[in-house]
Amino acid sequence: MQCELCGASIQGPSKIIQIEGAELCVCVRCAKHGTEVQQPRRKGVQQKKPGFAAPPTRRKPRDVFDLMEGDLVDDYADRIRVAREEKEWSTLDLAQAIKEREILVKKIEKGDLIPEDDVRRKLERALNIRLIDSGEDSTSTGGPGRVTMTVGDVISFKKSRK
C-alpha cells in the first residue's frame, strides 16, 4: 500500500487523515499534515444482515423564511438604549437581566450587531418593547390607484419579452 500524500510504501499501520475535507490513507510520517479521522472498530461491531437495510430517512429542508416573524425595526439600537435608560439600568444590569454578556448588549446598542432572535426576544421581554415590524402593521406606500410591482410581475415580464 502506498501513502496517498508522499507516495512512499506504507510500513506498519496506516493512518486516515483529513486535509481540506478530503480523507487520505497516509503513512505515519505524513499523518502530522492533517487531522486524524477515527477509524471504525472492527471488534464488537455488529454486522447488518443483508436485505434488511433501513431506508434512508430524508429530512424536510428547513426554509429560513418560515422561521422569520417579521423585520427588525431600523432604530432597534435607539429603542433598546432608551428603554434601558428609562428603567435606569446600566448595560451590565440589562446583560444580567437577559443572561448575556455586557459586550453583546453594548454592540447591539451601538448598532454594530443585529440581535439574533433569541436575544431579541429576551430584550423585548426585559425592556417591555417591540423590536419587530410585522407586515400587518405597515400599510402599502402605493396609495389608491397606484400599481406597485412585485417579484412575480418582474419574472412574468422577463418571460414575456423572450
Q: How does pLDDT run across 121-135, given as a tens digit for each residue?
A: 999 999 999 888 865
Name the one residue in this structure whose C-alpha cell is 400599481. Answer: 147
**Average pLDDT of the residues of the chain:** 77
Partners of residue 24 on adjacent β-strands: 17
C-alpha to C-alpha distance for 10 and 26, rounded to whole angstroms: 7
CA distances from 47 to 41, 44, 56 (A): 12, 9, 18
What is the residue extent of each domain of the chain?
Answer: 1-37, 71-133
| 22-26 sheet: strands from edge to edge | 22-26, 15-19, 35-36
43-80 pLDDT, tens digit per residue, is 554 555 555 666 666 665 655 555 556 788 888 899 99
pLDDT band at residue 99, thresholds of 50, 70 and 90? very high
Of 63-67, 101-105, 125-129, 149-153, the range with the lowest mean pLDDT is 63-67
Contact at 8 Å (CB) between 138 and 74?
no
Cell of 156: 412574468
Contact at 8 Å (CB) between 76 and 83?
no
pLDDT value at residue 64 = 53
pTM score, whole prediction: 0.44
Q: How many CA atoms lie within 13 A of 120 on its CB side?
A: 17
pLDDT value at residue 66 = 53
Cα 100 off chain centre by: 19
b/e string for 6-24 if b means 16 or more Cβ within 10 A? eeeebeeebbebeeeeeeb
Residue range 71-133 forms a domain whose CATH class is: mainly alpha
